[in-house]
């Protein structure tokens, strides 16, 4: 009996041990599978981060390439403009040197040259002013668009609030509704008269506030022409360069020369008249044409120089 009891106790002890062992093995297997899942999740997250970093790097590289390309184009444009500006300066210096040389030699130079230089300087200043105005306008466009978007959002919000408040006022008497319609028609008529007088599109308090809150450059460009003739001419000149592709303010036709150039002096550019001009030095005034005698004191230095060359060459 003692041995049987010991065997039963031993069998129960073995069963409990096997049960604990199976439970321990199941826990180990569960922990191992959870660890595998965690490692897989970390690997997926790392892979997603790497892909996002690669995409961001590619975007940054593409943006750098675009910015570099634009910078190169801008640099080439500025270099060409700088070359033209330097060429103009060198030509002006060369012209001033030649003018001084001709003055020292005793040649007559009309005052039209100084006027031409003044016109050139005025044109250069005008171009610089227009370029500065265009730069300020481009800088203000983004701010204007942002302000317009915020204004539209605020207007939509107020319109929704007004729409919610309208049903509450629907119980008013019909007489009040008639008075309100009459007042609205009178306000509309007054606004219409103001629109006809000022020629500005003002159709309510929102538009008037938007006009008063506009930047100076925007208002000067879009509404200044209604009040100032100089502003109208300025804006039209700015638009004239865009009438056709590649347009310019430089005229595409022949510009007539300023005085003292005229048809009489143009006639002496022909070969027979040059020979008659030489007679001014070689022969007496009675042998010269009447038109030459009438304009002989306006003869330019180039004509006299050419006459001297002809006399030296016989």
pLDDT, greater one: 150 or 69: 69
- Ramachandran sector of residue 247 (left: φ over 0; alpha: ψ -120 to 50; beta: rest): beta
Task: Summarize pLDDT for 202-243 with one digit per residue, the tens.
Answer: 444 444 555 666 677 777 777 777 877 888 887 777 776 666
Q: How much is the mean pLDDT over the chain?
A: 70
Cβ proximity of 235 and 221 under 8 Å: yes
Residue 4 has pLDDT above 70, yes or no: yes
What pLDDT does 58 receive? Answer: 92
Residue of 212 and 283 predicted with greater confidence: 212
Most confidently predicted of 82-86, 166-170, 210-214, 246-250: 82-86
* pLDDT bracket for residue 306 (50, 70, 90): very low
Tokens for 289?
């044409």
Instruction: Answer whether residue 172 shows pLDDT above 90.
Output: no
Rounded to two decimals, the pTM is 0.25
DSSP 73-93: HHHHHHHHHHHHHHHHHHHHH
Q: What is the mean pLDDT of residues 80-92?
A: 88
Q: Per-residue pLDDT averaged across 151-159, rounded?
A: 72
What's the average model confidence in pLDDT over 84-108?
83
Instruction: Report, as an integer, the average pLDDT of 73-81.
Output: 88
| Interval 87-113 mean pLDDT | 79
- According to the model, what pLDDT value does residue 186 have? 47
Q: Dihedrals φ, ψ of 150, to 5°?
A: -65, -40
State residue 199's pLDDT score.
41
Residue 81 has pLDDT above 80, yes or no: yes
Residue 165 has pLDDT above 60, yes or no: no
What's the pLDDT at 243?
64
Closest CA to 265 of 306, 308, 309: 306
193 alpha carbon, distance to own chain's centre? 36
User: Residue range 151-171: average pLDDT?
Assistant: 60
What average pLDDT score do residues 157-186 get? Answer: 50
Task: Write down the pLDDT at residue 35.
Answer: 92
Question: 66 or 128: whose pLDDT is higher?
Answer: 66
Q: Which two tokens stand for residue 2?
A: 């003692």
pLDDT for the residue numbered 146: 73
Q: Which residues of 42-81 are buried (b: 16+ CB within 10 A; e: fewer)?
A: eeeeeeeeeeeeeeeeeeeeeeeeeeeeeeeeeeeeeeee
For residues 125 and 205, the model is more confident at 125
- Say yes or no to pLDDT of 51 above 90: yes
Show me where the domains of the chain are located: 21-106, 111-163+187-240, 263-312
Long-range Cβ pairs for the range 227-234 (8 Å, 24+): 234/130
- Cβ-proximal residues to 113 (8 Å cutoff; 6+ apart), any chain: 99
């Amino acid at each position: 009996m003692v041995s049987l009891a010991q065997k039963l106790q031993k069998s129960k002890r073995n069963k409990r041990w096997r049960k604990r062992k199976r439970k321990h093995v199941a826990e180990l297997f569960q922990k191992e599978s959870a660890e595998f899942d965690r490692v897989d999740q970390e690997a997926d997250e790392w892979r997603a981060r790497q892909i996002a970093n690669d995409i961001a790097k590619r975007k940054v590289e593409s943006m750098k390439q675009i910015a570099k390309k634009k910078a190169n184009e801008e640099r080439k444009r500025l270099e060409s403009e700088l070359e033209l500006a330097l060429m103009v300066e060198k030509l002006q210096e060369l012209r001033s040197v030649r003018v001084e040389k001709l003055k020292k030699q005793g040649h007559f130079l009309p005052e039209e040259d100084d006027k031409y230089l003044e016109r050139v300087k005025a044109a250069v200043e005008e171009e610089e002013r227009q370029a500065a105005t265009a730069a300020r306008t481009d800088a203000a466009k983004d701010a204007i668009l942002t302000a317009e978007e915020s204004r539209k959002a605020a207007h939509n919000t107020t319109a929704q609030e007004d729409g919610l408040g309208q049903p509450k006022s629907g119980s008013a008497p019909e007489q009040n509704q008639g008075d309100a319609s009459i007042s609205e028609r009178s306000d509309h008529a007054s606004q219409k008269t103001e629109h006809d007088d000022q020629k500005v599109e003002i159709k309510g308090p929102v538009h008037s506030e938007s006009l008063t809150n506009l930047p100076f450059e925007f208002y000067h460009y879009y509404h200044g022409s209604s009040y100032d003739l100089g502003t109208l001419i300025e804006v039209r000149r700015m638009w004239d360069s865009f009438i056709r592709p590649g347009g310019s303010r430089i005229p595409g036709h022949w510009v007539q020369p300023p005085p003292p150039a005229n048809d009489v002096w143009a006639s002496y550019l022909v070969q027979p008249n040059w020979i008659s001009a030489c007679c001014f030095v070689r022969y007496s005034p009675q042998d010269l044409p009447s038109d030459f005698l009438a304009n002989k004191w306006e003869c330019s230095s180039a004509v006299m120089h050419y006459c001297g060359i002809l006399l030296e060459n016989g």
